[in-house]
Amino acid sequence: MKSSDLPEIVELNDFGGDYDEYIDHIYSIFYEDVVDKKLYFRGEELKLKWNPIFQEKAYTFYHITHQGEDEANRTPDLRRCERMSWLRPTVTNCDKWNLKVFEQKRGSKVRLCIWLEMIDEFDYFVIIDVRSNYKLLWTAFVAEYPHQIRAKQREYEEWLKRKK
């Protein structure tokens, strides 16, 4: 996939470096694409984690736009923010675009990974948490380093082997 096939990236520089104005705009994209229009994966509406509310925004938004292992101390990730408008088309077009969609095991949890492989950009991933009677939009991120791509490729290949 080429970046020209997707909505434009929205950069902090487009807002003169004003982070508060920028993150409010990114949230408006998230809200319109995921809350107002509702986001569906293969015909099933994806649920969101609203609590705990973070800076008056849904927790799923916080998880998508911030990075870090310590949930209480995640830091803003501008690469994630810039690509917020890629979230909806990646999820809704995953089959049409023949994206890799595979299960990941995280402890006892099962998650689905949607992998948008890019030609001229960082690869983009959307993660969906599979619950007993619904699916939860968990996070989305870019792979900025080759080792991240190698790790995802290993997971994908292991899933293919298990699937046989």
pLDDT score recorded for residue 126: 98
pLDDT at 46 over 80: yes
Residue appearing with tokens 């649920």: 47
pLDDT, mean of residues 38-56: 87
pLDDT, mean of residues 20-38: 96
pLDDT score recorded for residue 37: 95
90, 77, 82: which is closest to 10 by C-alpha?
A: 82
pLDDT, mean of residues 77-95: 97
Number of folded domains that form the chain: 1
Cβ neighbours around 64 below 10 Å, total: 25
Q: Give the range of the structural domain holding residue 30, as residue numbers without chain letter.
A: 3-163
pLDDT at 53 over 70: no
pLDDT at 71 over 80: no
pLDDT score recorded for residue 52: 64
Calculate the CA dihedral of residues 48, 45, 152, 7 and round it to 10 degrees: -90
Which residue type, as a one-letter code, is found at position 113? C
pLDDT score recorded for residue 32: 97
DSSP 49-117: ---S-BTTB-HHHHHHHEE-SSGGG-EE-HHHHHTGGGHHHHHHTTTTTT-EEEEEEETTEEEEEEEE-
